Amino acid sequence: MSWTNSRNAELKERAAKVIPGGMYGHESTALLPADFPQFFRRADGTRLWDADDNEYIDYMCAYGPNLLGYRHAAVDAAARAQMELGDTLTGPSEIMVTLAEVLVGMLGHAEWAMFCKNGTDATSMATVVARAHTGKRKILVGRGVYHGAAPWCSPGPAGILSDDRAHIAYYRDQDPQSLADAMKEHAGDVAAVFATPFRHETFRDQAQPDATFAREARRLCDAEGAMLVLDEVRTSFRLSRDHAWAALGVAPDLSSCGKVIGNGQPISALVGGEHLRKAAGSVFVTGSFWFSAVPMAAAIATLKIVRESDYLERITRTGTLLREGLARQAADHGFALRQTGPVQMPQILFEDDPEMRLGYFWTAAAVRRGIYLHPYHNMFINAALSEADVAATLEATDGAFAALKAQDLKHLPLERPAVRERLERAAALSA
Ligand SMILES: Cc1ncc(COP(=O)(O)O)c(C=O)c1O
């Protein structure tokens, strides 16, 4: 069946009338190549079908939550069984205790867990717990790093007051000297330092976890009495069965876990060490749906698979095959890719592509060939992706490279002029 997008276009038109901007957040396709679908119908394993029923091998995994494959049989059976008992009740089900025990058993630095719905809930809760514990005000955050969509951390300026960020200070992401400088500037008043396990902002090359930065962040926090918060919302269980800095020998005081915990069911968590138990118990935090039992049942089933299966080795293997295959293929077609970050969370940018014209054309060509790739956001590998799927992906991307090569590369259109401004902002942040 040939690729069409008429239903998607129809839905976008309807959405424009009843949803502000037609769509919001990163679910808006306004910055993506024009043909990218915005609406999807269904998914299974590693496959995704859009509103027009075009089938894709999906490398975005719902922007992270799909770790084991969509509609995973064991996870969905656990969720269905809990649904038969009830979901959002007058209080939590006993499985909340079980789930907290499971997470505490898996994460080396964790002695307690609190559950919520989204990553932003968990990162925001971390600021409150750290301030309650330390009695200090400042939260140090990597410049340009995404920690969610609340006023203290949202990337968009609209509707945000400078007062909302009065006590948020910034350092150059993953730069120990810049963190030391920020720490010095706010000495005596730093409640927490936020870090991500590695650099993973949009529009930029990613990095690998950096032991020097991790150790220095720990040392500076200890010297200042500040809490080190590792924001693992994007990375949870994709790099490790423990927290992502366990392999570096650096333990955070708090970490936010999100996205994958329930393999797509809405649940996130804040976990922390013994010394923060009292502060965590003292803050008032809650939400009408934070105690729903179905996502907790899904999380218990997901984490059992995380502990007992070779999912991590498999996503590392398929991620490696994809990276190596694309590098070879790009070279064969006369292009050079910058493939950065851990292979389980690939970021694929083109060399000599200052305005991402090549990347936009190539990812759009891949989408039309049934491979959902992203031009500027890190992608995600899920455990349902097989080696045969990687081979099918490479067959399609070969066609996408050939289509790109057939273009007049000097005159490729800049489909989304707003990308220029994003790239300038990304360059300024890394300067
Ligand atoms: C590192 C990081 N922190 C926090 C968040 C916010 O998570 P959520 O969108 O679930 O609120 C995200 C979301 O992408 C993230 O990547």
Predicted local distance difference test score (pLDDT) of residue 382: 98
pLDDT at 1: 56
Answer for the pair 302, 102: CB distance below 8 angstroms, yes or no.
Answer: no
pLDDT of residue 44 exceeding 70, the answer is yes
Mean pLDDT of the chain: 97
Residue 1 lies in a domain: no
325 and 303, same structural domain?
A: no
Across 168-174, average pLDDT? 97
Give yes or no: residues 265 and 391 share one domain: no
Percent of the chain predicted with pLDDT > 70 = 100
> Which amino acid, 366?
A
What would the pLDDT profile of 105-152 be if each residue is shown by its tens digit?
A: 999 999 999 999 999 999 999 999 999 999 999 999 999 999 999 999
162 located within any domain: yes
Output the pLDDT for position 214.
98
pLDDT tens string 386-395: 999 999 999 9
List pocket residues of ligand 1, CB cut-off 6 Å: 118-120, 123, 146-148, 196, 231, 233-234, 258
User: Is residue 186 situated within a structural domain?
Assistant: yes
The domain boundary, picked from 290, 308, 326, lies at 308
DSSP bridge partners of 114: 270
Residues 286 and 335 in one domain: no
Q: How far is the CA of 207 from the centre of ligand 1 (A)?
A: 18
- Atom number of ligand 1 nearest to Cα 235: 1
Same structural domain, 194 and 54? no
What is the CA(148)–ligand 1 centre distance, in A?
5
Query: Contact 268/118 with Cβ under 8 angstroms?
Result: yes
Contact assessment for residue 137 and residue 227, using Cβ atoms and an 8 Å cutoff: no
Q: Tell me: pLDDT of 285 over 80.
A: yes
Domain end, chosen from 274, 308, 342, is at 308
Rg (C-alpha) for the chain, rounded Å, is 22
Which whole number is the average pLDDT over 364-375?
98
Q: Which of 61, 117, 123, 267 to mutate to test the pocket of ligand 1 (most atoms within 8 A of CB)?
A: 123
Distance 388 CA to ligand 1 centre (A): 31
Atom of ligand 1 nearest to the CA of 120: 11
Report CA(370)–ligand 1 centroid distance (Å): 27
- Asked whether residue 95 falls in the same domain as residue 206, the answer is yes
Residue 2: pLDDT band (50, 70, 90) is confident
Both 82 and 195 in a single domain? Answer: yes
Q: Is residue 68 part of a domain?
A: no
Look at residue 363 and tell me if it is in a domain.
yes
Last residue of a domain, one of 287, 308, 329: 308
Q: What is the pLDDT of residue 425?
A: 86
**Domain match, 298 and 341 both:** no
**For ligand 1, atom 4, which residue shows the shortest CA distance?**
147
160 and 97 part of one domain = yes
The verdict on 277 and 331 lying in the same domain is no
Residues forming a β-bridge with 49:
42, 55
Regarding whether 356 and 273 lie in a shared domain, the answer is no
Torsional sign, CA 57, 353, 144, 235: positive
pLDDT at residue 427, as a whole number: 84
d(CA 102, CA 83) in angstroms, rounded, equals 21
Structure confidence at residue 219 (pLDDT): 98
Q: Is the pLDDT of residue 25 over 80?
A: yes
| Average of per-residue pLDDT across 259-286 | 98
Q: Are residue 303 and residue 317 in the same domain, yes or no? A: no
Query: What angle is formed at CA 26 by the lines to CA 62 and CA 4, rounded to 5 degrees?
Result: 70
User: Domain for residue 10, yes or no?
Assistant: yes
Q: What is the CATH number of the domain that holds 343?
A: 3.90.1150.10
What domain count does the chain have? 2
- With respect to residue 15, please indicate whether it lies within any of the assigned structural domains: yes
| 389 shares a domain with 260 | no
CATH code for the domain in which residue 112 is found: 3.40.640.10
272-141-230 Cα angle (round to 5): 25
- Show the domain range for 359: 6-63+310-430
